[in-house]
Amino acid sequence: MLERVEVELDIFSGNPNPTWMLSDAEGVLFLKRLAMLPKSSIKELSTNLGYRGFIVRVTNRMVNILVRIQNGTVQFSQDDTNVYYNDQNRYLEQWLLNSGKHYLKSDLFKIIGSEFPRNF
């Protein structure tokens, strides 16, 4: 059972990034969507200024998982192991943005939303 799924919008350099918690149902749905993604080769994530995707921390008594999602690339880290997945249409990334709609300032939500294709 999940105890905590925290989402961080990785955007700011000098200020704290916005964070929010997923509900239990959202956390389960996030993990199901993650499990459906196809594996990918290793891809380097950007460290540029501005929008750098999402950092998701999944924790309970048994596991600590860190998931970084950026521009269609998903890096799943547990212990010392990294596995990469392809979020080709960026649906998982967009789903995470929508999960934070009530926690983000509307102008920030719109700016990040403009990063995605209009077909969502």
Please give the radius of gyration of the chain, using alpha carbons only, rounded to the nearest integer. 14
120 lies in some domain:
no
Global pTM reads 0.90
For 66, the domain range is 4-113
Q: What pLDDT does 62 receive?
A: 82
What average pLDDT does the segment 1-10 reach? 87
Q: Tell me the per-residue pLDDT of 33-79, one tens digit each, with 9 for 90 and over.
A: 999 999 998 888 877 888 999 999 999 888 889 999 999 999 999 98
Chain-centroid distance of CA 4 in Å reads: 14
Q: What pLDDT does 46 receive?
A: 77
Q: Distance (Å, rounded) from C-alpha 99 to C-alpha 103? A: 8
94 lies in some domain:
yes
Q: What pLDDT does 50 receive?
A: 84
pLDDT at 23 over 90: yes
34 lies in some domain:
yes
107 lies in some domain:
yes
**Strands of the sheet with 19-21, listed across from one edge:** 19-21, 4-9, 54-59, 64-70, 73-78, 81-86, 39-40
pLDDT band, residue 11 (cuts 50/70/90):
very high
The answer to whether 5 and 21 have CB atoms below 8 angstroms apart is yes
Q: What pLDDT does 118 receive?
A: 66
Sign of CA dihedral 20, 24, 30, 31: positive
What average pLDDT does the segment 24-35 reach? 93
Number of domains, the chain: 1
